[in-house]
Structure 1
Amino acid sequence: VGQDWLWFGRLTKTDAELQALLSDADTQFFTLTKDGRDEALLELKFTADGTCELAYFGLTPALIGSGAGRYLMNHAIRSAWARPISRFHLHTCTLDSPQALSFYVRSGFTPFKRQVEVADDPRLIDLLDKDAGAHVPTIG
């Protein structure tokens, strides 16, 4: 999940950092499975100040267009608001699927801020395969 969109944030973490994320009682992880393979990822991160971030949400091509995204998002919304939170939010970026922002808006999220973030291309620093995110040109 995410390789086509050049997700690399977790690839920069050490094993200890990843284990800490997986062990965090304030983080929930969900997946959808098709034909015995995990084909989706949902991560909800709850904070002490009463917010929940939809930290990761994605499907592999095996599930895109199947209705699985709506199912998973509905699960995310129910799970988030089942806890005593005052805000449920997410971050997306221009490298995400072209349908992502409109999907999030249809799911009840409201865009409220834009900012520029700069990072090295993960394909050029060996975090992802050179052929990942083929729709995004490389400059190297």
Structure 2
Amino acid sequence: MDTDLTTWSLEQTSPADLRPAAVPDGDIRIERAAVPSPEFSRFLYASVGGDIHWTDRLGLTYAQWREVLERPGVETWVAYDRGTPAGYVELDPQPEGAVEIVYFGLLPAFRGRRIGGHLLSVGVERAWDLAERWPDREPTKRVWLHTCSWDGPTAMDNYLRRGFRIFKTETEPKAQPATPGPWPGA
């Protein structure tokens, strides 16, 4: 079924733009997955994006996942609730000091518990200090992301509350894909 898909591109141009969320109650920790793992990254991608139409990476081979994850500066930061993966943010360094938040979200069971604002805050902080961990990278000058009308209902509000500003809006008719999972085909 064709429907209008609106995509918004948002950015921060200074670390001072970030308005961090409060740290949620409970045993929530955020760690970098420092060893590139196609299996773990595909699990996060399918589990977080399965009900919000993330399909672009589902057809990647193991080798293609490795290629993406092993690029210098690509980082995956994972939120854990009492040891269980709750969500993630993937950073992708780009030319001219830009860092894109390529993927961000929570597994459905962890949404609505204030984890997302905290995870996004930490992810943005790590985007701003990426060059400290990757000495061959130039310092970050801009952190950006995109979201769309198919994303979760609180995504845009979270981005705006963290200090992102919209710099581009595009709308196009697009066939909405079936939600892949995380169960069928996960």
Calculate the TM-score normalised by the size of structure 2: 0.62
2:180 match: 128
Q: Does 1:86 align with 2:138?
A: no
Task: Among all aligned residue pairs of Structure 1 and Structure 2, give the percentage whose two residues are the same amino acid.
Answer: 33
Q: Give the number of aligned pairs.
A: 129
Pairing of 1:1-140 with structure 2 (within 5 A): 1-82=48-129, 83=131, 84-116=139-171, 120-123=175-178, 128-129=180-181
Structure in which a larger fraction of residues adopt strand: 2
Residue 14 (structure 1) shift:
2.1
Moved runs in structure 1, 4+ residues, more than 2 A?
33-37, 116-123
Is the partner of 1:91 in helix, strand or coil?
strand
Higher RCO structure, 1 or 2 (CA under 8 Å, sep 6+): 2
1:136 match: none
CA RMSD of aligned residues (A): 2.3
Gaps of at least 5 residues in structure 1 are: 133-140
Gaps of at least 5 residues in structure 2 are: 1-47, 132-138
Residue 78 (structure 1) shift:
1.1
In structure 2, C-alpha distance between the alignment counterparts of 1:104 and 1:13, rounded to whole Å: 28
Calculate the TM-score normalised by the size of structure 1: 0.80
1:10-51 residue CA offsets vs partner (Å, 9 max, x unmatched): 102222111111211221001122354322021011113210
